[in-house]
Amino acid sequence: MVLLSIVVLVFGHFHMCASSSYQDQLNLYSNLTATINPTVRPVLNQSDTVRVNIIVSLLSIIEINEREQSMTSVLAISSMWIDETLQWNVSEYGDTFKVTMHPSDIWIPEFMVGNTIKNDIMVLKVNGLKIDVLNNGFAMWHSGGAIKTSCPIDISKYPFDTQVCLIRLSKSLNDNEMDISAAENYAMLVSFNENKEWNLARSVVSKETSIPNISELVVTLYLQRRPLFYIINIILPMVMISFMSILCFKIPPRSGERISYCVSLLLTFVVLLSTTAETMPRASDNISYLQIYINCQFWSGCLITTISAIIVKVDHSDTHVNVPRWCQLILGLSTCSRKSKINAQETKPDSNDIDQDQEMDIPSKSDSKTTENLKQNENIEKNNVIGHVDEMLFYIFICLFILSTFVCFMLIWLT
Ligand SMILES: *[C@@H]1O[C@H](CO)[C@@H](O)[C@H](O)[C@H]1NC(C)=O
Ligand SMILES: *[C@@H]1O[C@H](CO)[C@@H](O)[C@H](O)[C@H]1NC(C)=O
Ligand SMILES: *[C@@H]1O[C@H](CO)[C@@H](O)[C@H](O)[C@H]1NC(C)=O
Ligand SMILES: *[C@@H]1O[C@H](CO)[C@@H](O)[C@H](O)[C@H]1NC(C)=O
């Protein structure tokens, strides 16, 4: 249907000859076909070149498959050439300017798709579409179809990537026999159907000679991925979950919720990871920055859970923990703030501290008053140290998170 609309568009100006009769057309057709052979090039002197002008129209991009590294598109190729064997004197056939021929009756320029990955290499072969020929031998033939071509896909900037896909229109005849040229240096988009996932940034049609004397027409398509879907469904949830897993350090170890919070976030992460892995190409030379970023966030989530487990273990153990000197040095703040906190506790204890005291009272009921006081002090010290460790880890992971997010998106935007 779309192809037909192009035919009507391009051939609108041919509908000017209506004076000829059916018999005239019949005579003309039989006289023309009686003397020609479709396999012989239509030049009277066979050392001449048939010059074919081509208009490439892109009708749609069906899909780009990252796993197969392929692009499926629908092309219409309009070829124009002069057939020297199909010329006639208009007045001898009752003013007939135009004849419509079947493509199997006359010579047509045949193209192969050089980089196809289908079984069928001759995609642009004789099909049912008729050819209009004018009395001076000018012929125009429309052909085309769905073409599946190989396209190396670089996903390193996924999902903000631009892919360059080529369609190579080759021929078997050499340039001395048949010369091709593009009428326009871009693909016509008269009846182009937009793809929902890919935006066609621009297209270039050029002539390339990779094999000497056998040039080919190369259609280059620059396709931009529309990133909104990926931003909403992958990037934002990933960033949010990575951020939330750092909040682990803000949950008090005593609350008993810390580990379950961390693990459930990690599980959410794994589910998201498996859905993104599905959209990524499996075997590729390059790996996307986003994938590296997501993996880093995952490992950081694992690390946070592990550290949290250790912290909870240390917090729940009753044995006295000697804080090593290097640790005390790193936590230089802790010595002064601890003292002030102890003072604050002595003057006005709040509800949290009462809870903690009650908890601590249970195992130390039988103990004497002095040991109870000592243990309390130790516990206060331990809580303080754990609080500071949590705070420090929180800021370290927040910095790492911001830095890695910044670097990842800078790499995607700037390279
Ligand atoms: C066309 O062919 C018919 C018979 O085949 C012949 O009588 C007629 O002269 C031919 N016309 C031309 C213009 O060659
Ligand atoms: C064909 O053209 C070439 C030059 O273009 C000329 O040398 C040759 O004689 C021509 N052949 C015929 C049969 O006219
Ligand atoms: C076309 O045919 C008519 C009548 O047969 C003749 O008078 C005229 O000269 C021819 N024209 C050419 C270009 O051969
Ligand atoms: C290419 O064509 C030229 C003439 O245009 C000829 O001299 C040359 O030998 C050809 N080369 C090959 C590799 O066929």
Mutate to test the pocket of ligand 4, among 213, 214, 215 (most ligand atoms within 8 A of CB): 213
Instruction: Report yes or no on 326 lying in a domain.
Output: no
Nearest residue by C-alpha to atom 11 in ligand 2 = 45
Strand ranges across the sheet with 112-113: 112-113, 162-170, 214-225, 198-211
Which of 31, 87, 95 for a ligand 1 pocket mutation test, highest count of atoms within 8 Å of Cβ? 31
Dist. CA 13 → ligand 3 center (Å): 25
Assess whether 55 and 190 both reside in one domain. Answer: yes
The ligand 4 atom nearest the CA atom of 174: 14
* Burial label, 107 (beta-carbon count in 10 A; 0-12, 13-18, 19+): buried
Calculate the alpha carbon distances from 36 to 81, 134, 220, 345 in Å. 16, 16, 37, 109
Residue ending a domain, choose from 167, 202, 226: 226
In this structure, is residue 111 part of a structural domain? Answer: yes
Distance 10 CA to ligand 3 centre (A): 30
Nearest listed ligand to the Cα of residue 211 = 4
Provide the domain limits for residue 354: 334-379
Distance (angstroms) between ligand 4 centre and the Cα of 213 equals 6
| CA–CA–CA angle 67, 70, 75 (5° rounding) | 155
Q: CB-based burial of residue 141 (10 Å sphere; 0-12 exposed, 13-18 middle, 19+ buried)?
A: buried
Domain contains 328: no
Q: Considering 226, 245, 275, which residue would you say is the last residue of a domain?
A: 226
Same domain, 198 and 250: no
The enclosing domain of 42 has a CATH number of 2.70.170.10
Rounded to the nearest angstrom, the distance between the alpha carbon of 175 and the centre of ligand 4 is: 9
CB of 45 shorter than 6 A to ligand 2 = yes
Say which residues have a Cβ less than 8 Å from residue 342's Cβ, sequence separation at least 6: 377, 380
Q: How far is CA 400 from the centre of its chain?
A: 27
Clarify whether residues 168 and 188 are in a common domain: yes
Q: Whose CA is nearest to atom 14 of ligand 1?
A: 31
Would you say residue 205 lies in a domain? yes
* Residues 305 and 359 both lie in one domain: no
Residues 212 and 350 in one domain: no
Ligand 2, atom 14, residue with closest C-alpha: 45
Q: State residue 61's pLDDT score.
A: 95
Determine the Cα–Cα distance for residues 323 and 113; give it in Å rounded to an integer. Answer: 73
- Same domain (yes/no): 153, 136: yes
Q: Which two tokens stand for residue 388?
A: 């500071």
pLDDT by residue for the chain (415 residues), tens only, comes to 344 444 444 454 455 445 678 888 899 999 999 989 989 999 999 999 999 999 999 999 999 988 888 999 999 999 999 999 999 999 888 888 889 898 888 999 888 888 988 876 666 665 668 899 999 999 999 888 888 999 998 888 888 889 999 999 988 888 999 999 999 999 999 999 999 999 999 999 999 998 888 999 999 999 999 999 889 988 898 899 999 999 999 888 888 788 999 999 999 989 888 887 777 666 567 788 888 888 899 999 999 999 999 888 888 876 665 666 666 666 654 444 444 444 444 444 444 444 444 444 444 444 455 666 666 666 667 777 888 888 999 999 999 999 999 999 898 888 7
Pocket test for ligand 2, best of 43, 45, 48 (most atoms within 8 A of CB): 45
- Identify whether residues 64 and 10 lie together within a single domain: yes
Please indicate, yes or no, whether residues 168 and 254 belong to a single structural domain of this protein. Answer: no
Protein residue with its CA nearest to atom 9 in ligand 2: 45
Q: What is the pTM of this model?
A: 0.77
- Please tell me the total count of domains within the chain: 3
Q: Which of 168, 198, 226 is the last residue of a domain?
A: 226
Question: CA triplet 211, 212, 215: central angle to 5 degrees?
Answer: 65
Q: How many CB atoms lie within 10 A of CB 130?
A: 14
Domain contains 236: yes
- Nearest-atom number in ligand 1 for the CA of 27 is 1
Q: Are residues 395 and 269 in the same domain?
A: yes
CB of 319 closer than 6 angstroms to any ligand 2 atom: no
Residues 350 and 364 in one domain: yes
Q: Is the bond preceding 159 in cis, omega lying within 30 degrees of 0? A: yes
Sign of CA dihedral 243, 248, 249, 251: positive
Side-chain-side CA neighbours of 11 within 13 Å: the count stands at 24
CA distance 278 to 170: 35
Both 104 and 168 in a single domain?
yes
Who contacts 131 (Cβ-Cβ below 8 Å, separation ≥6)? 100, 101, 102, 103, 106, 108, 139, 140, 141
Residue 272 lies in a domain: yes
Q: Specify the residue with its C-alpha closest to ligand 4, atom 2.
A: 213
Question: Domain holding 392: CATH number?
Answer: 1.20.58.390
| Domain assignment of residue 357, yes or no | yes
115 located within any domain: yes
| Number of Cβ within a 10 Å radius of residue 76 | 23
> Does one domain contain both 242 and 310?
yes
